[in-house]
Amino acid sequence: MGGAIFLIVIIVIVAWVLASCIRIVPQAYAVILERLGAYQATWSTGIHFKVPFIERVARKVNLKEQVVDFPPQPVITKDNVTMQIDTVVFFQITDPKLYTYGVENPIMAIENLSATTLRNIIGDMELDETLTSRETINTKMRASLDEATDPWGIKVNRVELKNIIPPAAIQDAMEKQMKAERERREAILIAEGQKKSTILVAEGKKQSAILDAEAEKQAAILRAEAQKERMIKEAEGQAEAVLKVQNANAEGIRMIREAGADQAVLTLKSLEAFAKAADGKSTKIIIPSDIQGIAGLASSLKEIITEPEDK
């Protein structure tokens, strides 16, 4: 009975030992194998076997890109301003063997290295330049860290300044400066708006005056045209009336001539026309030089006309 239990225990131990010799490495990981304390091999993804009691797994290495957020580090600028800056480092292990045997604590080493590198970079820059040159600082830190961590089998992909915390007095001064800048921009915008408004009002008045002048000009032109048309029509009416009178006189003279009237009758008719002209609005009348002869002729005509009546 006791021998059977012992046999079972031996079988269990052997099975456990054999199971421990089988190792499955998942994706994006690597395993460092040591034999009698010395580096033996680097296992990649898949199933692997090791010799029991002689070989052992020294380290399981994560090959994914990793992110480390370091706490704020005190730094001093070129103009002697102390501030706190915390950084974020993105790195990836490219050589598991160097990562395992290159440095005792890689994360702590990267943290200390980033702190010293950051102090060196910020020490050559003033406060204002530090606040506006994040991209430059990130590039310099990444290049410096990548070069320093290359012997450790680590590749630094990028470095980001997560936050820059200046002293409280500097923050108050910056807030006042930003407030003054915003107020200045607001005043400029208000002044620009008032200027544009004044210009628009002036342009509107100018356009209104121009339009009024154009309207008055057009109205004057229309009035002049209407007056001209009225005068033309009046002149045409007067000319037509005179023409009709002249035609009537000419027709009367023609009829008298056709009736056999002599020169005396024609002269009398001329006197009648002269008398009608004297009744007009003219203030100056020109009397022909032979008016006496015409008057004598009129008396002779009167006698000739009255003789038959006496007989």
pLDDT, average across residues 11-36: 86
| Structure tokens, 280 | 């007009």
Q: Could you tell me which CATH class the domain 66-166 is placed in?
A: alpha beta
Domain ranges for the chain: 2-61, 66-166, 170-261, 262-311
Does position 300 have pLDDT exceeding 90, yes or no? no
- DSSP per-residue codes, 60-71: EEE-S-EEEEPP
What integer is the mean pLDDT of 114-128? 89
Burial (CB < 10 A; 0-12, 13-18, 19+), residue 96, is buried
Chain segment 141-152, per-residue pLDDT in tens: 999 999 999 999
Among 128-132, 136-140, 234-238, the range of highest mean pLDDT: 136-140
pLDDT of residue 41: 92
Pick the range with the lowest mean pLDDT from 50-54, 185-189, 284-288. 284-288
Helix, coil or strand: residue 91 = strand
Residue type, 308: P
CB contact at 8 A, 122 and 76: yes
pLDDT score for 32:
93
Cα dist from 307 to 279, 294, 299, 300, whole Å: 32, 20, 12, 11
pLDDT of 173 above 60 = yes
Neighbours of 287 (CB within 10 A): 8
Full-model pTM: 0.54
- Check pLDDT > 50 for residue 87: yes
> Would the pLDDT of 223 be above 90?
no
DSSP class of 300: H
More confident of the two residues 35 and 281: 35
Which helix (H) or strand (E) segment holds residue 73: the answer is strand 73-76
Q: Are strands 82-93 and 154-165 parallel, antiparallel or unpaired?
A: antiparallel
> Which stretch of DSSP H or E encloses residue 199?
helix 168-258
What mean pLDDT comes out for the span 7-22? 80
Q: What is the pLDDT of residue 103?
A: 85
Residue 96's pLDDT is 93
Confidence of residue 21 (pLDDT cuts 50, 70, 90): confident
Task: Read off the pLDDT band of 255 (50, 70, 90).
Answer: confident
Tokens of 23: 């190792």
pLDDT greater than 90 at residue 92: yes
- DSSP label at 150? G
| Lowest model confidence (mean pLDDT) among 154-163, 178-187, 218-227, 289-298 | 289-298
A 10 A CB-CB count for 25 gives: 18
Q: Is the pLDDT of residue 311 over 50?
A: no
